[in-house]
Amino acid sequence: MPKLCWRKPVRTRDDVTTMTLCESSEEKASPTKLTAYRKAIDNLDNDRKWQTDTAVGKRIGLYKLSGELGKGNFSQVKTGYHELTKERVAIKILDKTKLTAKAKKMLSREISVMESIHHQNVIRLFEVIETYTKYYLIMEHAAAGELFKRLISEGRMHESEAKNIFSQIVLAVKHLHDRNIVHRDIKAENVFLSSRGVAKLGDFGFSITVSNNEKLETFCGSPPYAAPELFLDERYVGRPVDVWSLGVLLFFMTTATMPFLGDNMAGLRRSILAGHVNSPACMSQLLKSLIDSMLNTSPEHRFDIDQVLKSDWLREASAYQIRFNNNSVYGQWCAYPTAAGAELTDTETNARKALEGLGITEAMLDEHSSRGSRSNVVATYRIVVNRLLQQRRLMGQQHHMQHQNSTMQHPQTASGRKPTKTKSRLCAIT
């Protein structure tokens, strides 16, 4: 039986892959041997050790759980390893008994938005496992963690590096806005970085699908990133709220300070409603102008996401990202295996070969495809495709990285006040 091997990236005629198929003589000699997938399913059902590990919380489905990555209001996030591919994943664990009605609603939104969004700058959802007491969300793991932690430990970013990271987040938000989804909780704590410096937007608990200029009522997000209209007792349009938060994020990335400060909520509210931004003298005029246009207190006059992308400060970096995305197969990312008989992308063809090696056949992919994140077959497919796409992106990026000035400058906190982690709220923040 062919076995999945992880190897150094190899450029083939059609694709770049780290996964190749190899056959060991031992496997050739025993044609009746269980496939890796079958064996894992068998272990889940019958193996004492697997069952004990599952009972004591060391394993869930095909994932082995290890250290804690962090805790949220209603969740614990742990590192996990996928049994078949050895891929490292982030597993968000939610205790059903502790979920309020609001938290349940947020969770179901988070799952349905993540299930519908497939973009290289958005954290991917691989699988959802539900037990009697818990939900497990198996997600792409961001090895370099939160952008927030990086800014706190290393200080403000040089404008060229900020441009590279920020353009990726803006593209993720454009992807959402184009699909009528508003994130509503954009902040440095919800931007994750991969080990290769790829930025990924995560935490879709507050996200919502809107019709064009539909007005929203629920005030949510993190107060320091909240747009002024959220502090007024009025309904608000969704997309401009995201652009405001992006403006706050950009200011934070390039200064390591927050644009609006207050000793308490009333002070913060006053500062945001006044909308005065004191940019440091070292900030370039183009950046200052972009931040001012994003932090326009009038939502009607605020830049929209396309204007942000086309702004003088960001235009070149976003054009690079867009060109790069179009040239890569990321646009072809499939959340679900393509139906039998349809034309396959190079990546899918390679993924299918690798899956075949694990014992996941075309027929199984067809059968499971409609179950999406509720199927461990689809999850394995997503993990394999994601890995292939990352490798491909990496090859394309290497050339660009040589020309990047990625120096980080030391913290320069204009006000001397170090920002603290902001809690997301689902409440009226007036």
Ligand X SMILES: Nc1ncnc2c1ncn2[C@@H]1O[C@H](COP(=O)(O)OP(=O)(O)OP(=O)(O)O)[C@@H](O)[C@H]1O
Residues that bind ligand X (CB under 6 A): 69-75, 77, 90, 92, 123, 139-142, 145-146, 189, 192, 202-203, 205, 423-424
**What are 237's strand-pairing partners?**
215
Distance CA 117, CA 340 (A): 23
Tokens 């931004």 belong to residue: 277
Shortest distance in whole angstroms from residue 60 CB to ligand X: 16
For residue 248, give the nearest of 154, 318, 168, 185 by alpha carbon.
185
Residues ≥6 apart with Cβ < 8 Å to 178: none
Q: 331 with 171: CB under 8 angstroms? A: no
Indicate the residue among 75 and 296 with the shorter CB distance to ligand X: 75
Q: How far apart are CA 79 and CA 67, in angstroms?
A: 6
Q: Considering 15, 185, 203, 242, which one is annotated as catalytic?
A: 185
Residue 1 or 65: the one with the smaller Cβ distance to ligand X is 65
Measured over all CA atoms, what is the biggest interatomic distance in the chain, rounded to whole angstroms?
76
Return the SS3 of 356: helix
277/314 Cα distance (integer angstroms): 20
242 is catalytic: no
What the block records as the tokens of 302 is: 């605020």
Q: Which residue, 200 or 392, has its beta carbon nearer to ligand X?
A: 200
Shortest spacing between CB 71 and ligand X, in angstroms = 6
Q: How many CB atoms lie within 10 A of CB 360?
A: 26
Dihedrals phi, psi of 407, to nearest 5 degrees? -70, 135
Shortest reach from residue 82's CB to ligand X, in Å: 14
The radius of gyration of the chain's CA atoms, rounded to the nearest angstrom, is 23
d(CA 265, CA 395): 47
> What pairs with residue 71 in β-bridges?
76
DSSP string, 14-67: S-EEEEEEE--HHHHH-TTSPPHHHHHHHHHHH-HHHHHHHHTTSEETTEEEEE
236 and 227 Cβ atoms separated by less than 8 Å: yes
Coil, strand or helix: which one is 267?
Answer: helix
C-beta of 103: minimal distance to ligand X in Å?
Answer: 9
Q: Is there a contact between 17 and 388 (Cβ–Cβ < 8 Å)? A: yes
Q: Which residues pair with 70 in a beta bridge?
A: 77
Q: How far apart are CA 50 and CA 60, in angstroms?
A: 9
Minimal distance, residue 169 CB to ligand X, in Å? 15
Is 28 marked as binding a ligand? Answer: no
Q: Where do runs of H (alpha helix) occur along 278-407?
A: 285-294, 305-310, 315-327, 346-358, 362-368, 376-402
Query: Min. distance of Cβ 189 from ligand X in angstroms?
Result: 6
Q: How many alpha carbons fall within 13 Å on the CB side of residue 304?
A: 12
d(CA 427, CA 219): 6
What residues are annotated to the active site? 185
Binding-site annotation: residue ranges = 92
* Residues contributing to the annotated binding site for ATP: 92
